[in-house]
Amino acid sequence: MATSLPDSLVGSLGNEGVAAPNNLGHYSVDGRVPEAAVFPSGIDDVSQLLAFASDAGKVVVPRGGGTQMALGNIPPRVDLVVGLARLNRLLFHEPGDLVAGVEAGISLNTLQSELALQGQFLPLEGPLPDRATVGGILAANATGPSRLAYGSPRDWLIGIKVVHSDGTVTKSGGRVVKNVTGYDLNKLYTGSLGTLGVIVEATFKLAPAPAERVTLVATYPSVATALASAGGLLRQRATPQALHVIDRQVTGRLPGLVPEVNQATVLALLSGRKVAVKRRADDCAIALDRGGAKTVGTLSSKDSAPLWQAITDLGWTEEMPPSLVAKVGILPSQMGEFVEASLELDRPGVVADVGSGLVRLLWWSDEESSSAEADIQGRLDKLWDVVHSINGHMVIERCPAHIKSVLDVWGDPPEAIDVMRRVKGQLDPAGILNTGRFAGRI
């Protein structure tokens, strides 16, 4: 039965603000089709929508660009999808102070284009940035290859405005970098997957755009050799902005790279002033050569950008998606041991962020039979054993719905799960925000 929105709210949303009933399948979450999908154009509309949902007991799923809706557990039900794509303004940009404020529905690429006019950028990265919204990146705590140099979204967020489940609007932080008053709620909402409130505005500190970016590409006969060689770059005085090891399966799916006969490739992104980048690139090339590289080449800034974005997009595009994607967090010193064990599990594609200790494993399969799903389940069981043996943590980013329905994709509940549940109870007492999708099925 369709959700009946108040007439005053329907009038405020307008024709563009309510999805047609025959289009609701587009906004489904893991097969759960919503009763309604609405797209407010202002914070007041978001507030009214959540207040209505709270009173009516409707489960709300916030939505940005829809790029990472596969992330999280299958929700018990989806009543109302609230899309933020119409809240897409750059509210202010103060180049002299290196700060900017935006509405949460602005796409990452749109924001970066505006900031680039003043020679600045926001060090956020995420899959499919033409569609990905700033609010969605914050909610999912999405990161990219440059996490090694710039950290996570939490490190750049200095102010946030949130609408809570009862319609109350709150804000924390401000428009200056040195915000020291009160609790740092910015970090609480970032990565909470919309379970504590709907992010509607955000303020960030910015960084000057580097004059030059180049990527070193070094090939190796084995993944183990590539990991050891890449680790040597971390011990240099100036480390790369991004440092990844990928295996042959992944290499063949990225632009500008050739799998050849080599089993692994090191990719090192260097950025900064042209003279400094040239010197660092020469030093890194020598180090990689000494580390056993068979070949060492360089990609220009023009060719580097699409390569690193393709790495970030890997596993999220709808064209030939993997049947299983797992992201594992471990100590960087354990990466070699873990990857070696993982490669025995039917040879996954490997993307290893050497400096951050994050490894993404991807399996592609054209089969959707019950036997293929059984293989995936067995693979997952073995992978959990490997992760637990080294005290790592794992998130299943993508897997078949049948398998997803019987596991918690976030893994074992964290030690702080009781605290997380109490916070959820305080900020969403009605329990209507993204119910069941986050860690511990919060």
The structural domain count of the chain equals 3
Please report the pLDDT score of residue 374 as a whole number.
76
Please say which residue of 284, 313, 342 terminates a domain: 313
Residues near 195 by Cβ (< 8 Å), separated by ≥ 6?
A: 424, 428, 433, 434, 435, 437, 438, 442
Domain presence at residue 318: no
Please report the pLDDT score of residue 367 as a whole number.
56
Co-location of 82 and 188 in the same domain: yes
- The CA distance from 34 to 231, in Å, is 47
Co-location of 60 and 40 in the same domain: yes
Q: Give pLDDT < 50 ranges for the chain.
A: 1
Q: Where do we find the tokens 């799903």?
A: 373
DSSP 162: E
Domain presence at residue 409: no
CA distances from 273 to 125, 212, 239, 270, 276 (A): 21, 6, 15, 10, 5
Contact predicate 271/238, CB 8 Å:
no
- Summarize pLDDT for 148-191 with one digit per residue, the tens: 999 999 999 999 999 999 999 999 988 877 665 566 899 999 99
Range of the domain at 400: 324-404
| Half-sphere exposure for 220 (CA within 13 Å, toward CB) | 23
Co-location of 262 and 168 in the same domain: no
Co-location of 48 and 108 in the same domain: yes
Co-location of 161 and 222 in the same domain: no
Distance, CA of 346 to chain centre? 26
Coil/strand/helix, residue 195 = coil
Give 81-145 as a DSSP string: EEE-TT---EEEEEGGGTEEEEETTSBHHHHHHHHHTTTEE-----SSTTT-BHHHHHHHT---T
Co-location of 186 and 64 in the same domain: yes
Q: Bridge-partner residues for 245, per DSSP?
A: 266, 352
Structure pTM?
0.94
Co-location of 247 and 263 in the same domain: yes
Please report the pLDDT score of residue 1 as a whole number.
38
Co-location of 91 and 67 in the same domain: yes
Please report the pLDDT score of residue 5 as a whole number.
82
CATH classification at residue 382? 3.30.70.2740
- Summarize pLDDT for 373-426 with one digit per residue, the tens: 778 888 999 999 999 999 999 999 999 988 999 999 999 888 999 999 999 999
Q: Rg of the Cα trace of the chain?
A: 22
Co-location of 59 and 197 in the same domain: yes
Domain presence at residue 135: yes
Element (H, E) at 57: none
Co-location of 309 and 329 in the same domain: no
Please report the pLDDT score of residue 260 as a whole number.
66
